[in-house]
Amino acid sequence: MQTGSCLCGGVTYTLSGVLRNSVACHCEQCRKTSGHYVSATQVGPEQLAITNDTTLTWYQSSPGASRGFCNRCGSSLFWRHVDDNGAVSVMSGTLDGVTGITTEKHIFVADKGDYYDIADGRPQHDQ
């Protein structure tokens, strides 16, 4: 079991089962919501238990996806696509302690900011 939260603790959650390795997304939306790029694991709906949602707000960032964030501290926590059978991407930086996951790949690198390089040797995909 893995726990996580936003910066202020207004949103807390637990994840059960095996976590997918993290995928780093460099799309414009992820950069705008996080201030950089986003790195996220993903779980099925039965693996995510939100234990405190006092400050959780969902924002529909595109016709097919919503982003969950804390409306007090601004932490970006979740991303879910309407067609993913309820799967939820969970921002890896919001996990507590040792995660046991690594970065698997980078996506939407064609949209990445010009102020940084990706130099970790992981696969990179334009989309």
Is there a domain that residue 103 lies in?
yes
Token pair, residue 70, equals 């804390």
Number of domains in the chain: 1
- The bridge status of strand 22-25 relative to strand 103-107 is parallel
Predicted TM-score of the model (pTM): 0.94
Please tell me the predicted confidence (pLDDT) of residue 83.
Answer: 82
Residue-by-residue pLDDT tens, the chain, 127 positions: 999 999 999 999 999 999 999 999 999 999 999 999 999 999 999 999 999 999 999 999 999 999 999 999 999 999 999 887 889 999 999 999 999 999 999 999 999 999 999 999 999 999 9
Please tell me the predicted confidence (pLDDT) of residue 52.
Answer: 98
Is there a domain that residue 120 lies in?
no
- Find the domain containing 50 and state its range: 2-111
Please tell me the predicted confidence (pLDDT) of residue 84.
Answer: 73
Is there a domain that residue 40 lies in?
yes
Alpha-carbon span 24 to 103, nearest angstrom: 7
Is there a domain that residue 73 lies in?
yes
Is there a domain that residue 20 lies in?
yes
Is there a domain that residue 64 lies in?
yes
Is there a domain that residue 97 lies in?
yes
Check which CATH number belongs to the domain holding 54 and give it.
Answer: 2.170.150.70
Residues 6+ apart with CB under 8 A from 57: 68, 69, 70, 71
Phi/psi for 97 (5° steps) reads: 65, -155
Is there a domain that residue 37 lies in?
yes
- Residues 71-101: pLDDT tens digits? 999 999 999 998 878 899 999 999 999 999 9
